[in-house]
Chains A and B, each alone.
Chain A
């Protein structure tokens, strides 16, 4: 294969990464933007989504598509419930004090990892894709499912944007983000908003994982990379900015696709990690957004 098509393939792979990354990162960004909580366990919500999708694929009989649709609905809900529980039992009691919540979510990370290890085991397991067809391009064939992932992710992002910008729920969220005490004074149940936002963040991560799990197998340690990449995306995009997050996800996903194709993935990760640290040091408002941390 010559360079041109090779690059195209790399870009298409990058789009898939971008799409999934955008979903996960928007979840992280929402949680930080509205609750001011840096959720270190976000990657584990992603992992739980994938692992629970495997369980659903085992339990639901019939063709893979049925099980997959069931997973697409059930797993995000399941993870959202766990997230809401974590918010009510732990984070709320810490009064969302930033440093304490980070330590607590680190604890949560280990608990969830252990839970997955104990109930799911140390193996990586595949989940069958709902459909298998290849789109034949002049130079190579490409998985139709991967294209569907990009489309689905774009749809969900559009939904999230509508929810935030156009709906009453979004208005309440933004009011709470703006000023928690005033929101409370106006009769907004802040506790419920927070639990809801944390659940939404976890649910989005889980949804991203369900979409990716037919491509990448489910494993109890699979949460680390999405966490790191989400952090990178959110910091570069400017925390709390939906548009910035999506742009940054595209940027990171595409460059990750291209760099990993041509260079060692570890080297790409080293560069990306250092880059994000330096962005935080020298441009804390992110490359596209306003100051957040």
Chain B
């Protein structure tokens, strides 16, 4: 088996498992996994910027929020169908990333982190400020009748699961193709040594901007899907915490690995879900996980696996 076949086999097997889950999982877990797949898509986008290109953004909630509100407000206020609204959400995520990137990518490292954080904070406050459109803190609950895609009721368990899976699968395949392409190689080169990449003839600014926009498209798609599948569009989903969570999932699963975001999101989701049975201290779980990861496992689960045994893992 060549490396390429092995790589595709592993990733398609994961998708097959998730597909089987749609038929085998009990309703409660079906909803959870559907949510995890949408959030993992968001995290995959984050990983393209952070894990592969080395752009540690603290402002991705803005892109997620752009997708969420872009789609949600169109459905709610303009009566647009779920399909076009989702497309608009994707575009909104990419646009937000382009605008932020054009400015923020003039900075590097810590300044980049703070600038992205500030832009996202400004976006979050804007949502709170325009209560007439966004209903502020309370958020918009999208009516069930509006959440219909090609005849399927997105609020029902099964269609929701499969739309989530479809989104995730598309994101996964695209990402796998991207990171194994020459473009992906340049992204990694920028992460590893920007000056060297520049002297090989690559424009760091343009390449990083492209990576950030792709990342924003993922975030926008996930945001739009989240709003349409779960029917809630709220400011808390665009708050700083939603910039930190994808970072956490990616760190946990393994930055710069294709499947890491899924592993991280799945584990973290169930860790919080499980721990909430005997403690309400969910923030503690997030905080402790962040600290422990940077201290003891900066490469995350799949990153460590790759270092030790699975050298071929993309």
Q: Do A and B touch directly, given a CB cutoff of 8 Å in the complex?
A: yes
Chain A neighbourhood of B292, CB < 8 A: 107
Q: Which of A113, A270, A281 contacts B106 (CB 8 A)?
A: A281
Q: What CA separation (Å) do A235 and B114 show in the bound complex?
A: 10
Query: Are B107 and A280 within 8 A (Cβ)?
Result: yes
Most buried by A among B106, B128, B287, B288: B287
Query: Are A284 and B129 within 8 A (Cβ)?
Result: no
Q: What CA separation (Å) do A99 and B251 show in the bound complex?
A: 13
Query: Are B129 and A264 within 8 A (Cβ)?
Result: yes
B27 to chain A, nearest CB (A): 31
Number of interface residues of A (CB under 8 A): 40
Query: Are B110 and A99 within 8 A (Cβ)?
Result: yes
- Which residues 55-93 of B have a CB within 8 angstroms of A? 56, 58
Cβ-based interface call for A166 (8 A): no
Cβ-based interface call for B295 (8 A): yes
If over half of B's interface residues share one DSSP class (helix, strand or loop), that class is named, otherwise mixed; here it is helix
Query: Are A90 and B122 within 8 A (Cβ)?
Result: no
- Residues 104-130 of chain B: 1 if any A CB is under 8 Å from the residue's CB, otherwise 0? 101101110111001101100110110
Cβ-based interface call for A117 (8 A): yes
Chain A neighbourhood of B281, CB < 8 A: 114, 117-118
Cβ-based interface call for A108 (8 A): yes
Cβ-based interface call for B286 (8 A): yes
Query: Are A114 and B287 within 8 A (Cβ)?
Result: yes
Q: What CA separation (Å) do A231 and B284 show in the bound complex?
A: 24
Cβ-based interface call for B247 (8 A): yes
B87 to chain A, nearest CB (A): 28
B119 to chain A, nearest CB (A): 5
Q: Which 4 A-B pairs have the closest CB atoms?
A: A110-B287, A107-B290, A111-B287, A107-B291
Q: What CA separation (Å) do A270 and B293 show in the bound complex?
A: 33
* CB within 8 Å for A231 and B290 given contacts A114-B281, A117-B283, A281-B103: no
Q: Point out residues on A near B: beta carbons under 8 Å.
A: 38, 90, 93-94, 98-100, 102-104, 106-115, 117-118, 228, 231, 235, 264, 266-267, 269-270, 273-274, 276-278, 280-282, 284, 293
Cβ-based interface call for B159 (8 A): no
Q: What CA separation (Å) do A111 and B288 show in the bound complex?
A: 7
Among residues of A, the one whose C-beta sits closest to the C-beta of B118 is: A277
Among residues of A, the one whose C-beta sits closest to the C-beta of B283 is: A114
Chain B neighbourhood of A284, CB < 8 A: 107, 111
Q: What CA separation (Å) do A278 and B122 show in the bound complex?
A: 12
Number of interface residues of B (CB under 8 A): 39
Query: What are 29 contact pairs spanning A and B, CB under 8 A?
Result: A90-B295, A93-B295, A99-B110, A102-B58, A103-B290, A103-B293, A104-B295, A110-B290, A113-B283, A114-B281, A114-B282, A114-B284, A117-B281, A118-B280, A118-B284, A228-B121, A231-B118, A235-B114, A270-B129, A273-B118, A274-B119, A277-B104, A277-B114, A278-B103, A280-B115, A281-B104, A281-B107, A282-B106, A293-B114
Query: Are A99 and B291 within 8 A (Cβ)?
Result: no
Query: Are B103 and A266 within 8 A (Cβ)?
Result: no
* CB within 8 Å for A102 and B122 given contacts A114-B287, A118-B281, A277-B115: no
With A110-B284, A231-B114 already in contact, 4 other A-B pairs whose C-beta atoms are closer than 8 Å: A113-B283, A266-B125, A281-B103, A293-B110
B52 to chain A, nearest CB (A): 15
Q: What CA separation (Å) do A113 and B58 show in the bound complex?
A: 19
Q: What CA separation (Å) do A90 and B114 show in the bound complex?
A: 21
Chain B neighbourhood of A112, CB < 8 A: 287
Cβ-based interface call for B313 (8 A): no
- Which residues 238-290 of B have a CB within 8 angstroms of A? 244, 247, 251, 280-284, 286-290
A115 to chain B, nearest CB (A): 8
Q: Which of B109, B126, B295 contacts A99 (CB 8 A)?
A: B109
Cβ-based interface call for B298 (8 A): yes
B144 to chain A, nearest CB (A): 32
